[in-house]
Amino acid sequence: MTLQTFTMAERRDGGGDDDGGEGTGTGLATRTRARTKQPTPYRVLMLNDDYTPMEFVVLCLQRFFRMNMEEATRVMLHVHQKGVGVCGIFSYEVAETKVGQVTDFARQNQHPLQCTLEKA
């Protein structure tokens, strides 16, 4: 969310007085309103492989995607059977961070587990 300052003349709603309580006293009153902009969503995907233990994948889903045991097991089995599965949908920055966390944790434990992201 960004905060944008604008003059009364720029207000779509016609604004109020020109130097109200929050005015500048110069006759060019400004107000600040919140502008919300949804970030482009990205899917984080987990890929299957033949070597990473199922328990390790479940641990990753719990640790980095805040899934409970039941959810994490369901997603892990989906990936195991179909080859790929969705861990969650995030802003680019958050998605990229999670991919890095999973990849680093997998490498630290000598597992080939792969995680990637794509535009949702």
Q: Which residues bind ligand TYC (CB under 6 A)?
A: 46-50, 52-54, 57, 76, 79-80, 113
User: Would you give the distance in Å from CA 93 to the centre of its chain?
Assistant: 7
**Taking the complex as a whole, how short is the minimal distance between the CB of residue 44 and ligand TYC, in angstroms?**
12
**Taking the complex as a whole, how short is the minimal distance between the CB of residue 35 and ligand TYC, in angstroms?**
39
Q: Are 91 and 83 in contact (CB under 8 A)?
A: no
Give CA–CA dist 71/103, Å, rounded: 20
Residue 48 vs 103, nearer CB to ligand TYC: 48
**Helix or strand run (H / E) with residue 109:** none
Query: Sign of the CA dihedral 49, 52, 53, 55?
Result: negative
Residue 36 vs 81, nearer CB to ligand TYC: 81
Residue 30 vs 48, nearer CB to ligand TYC: 48
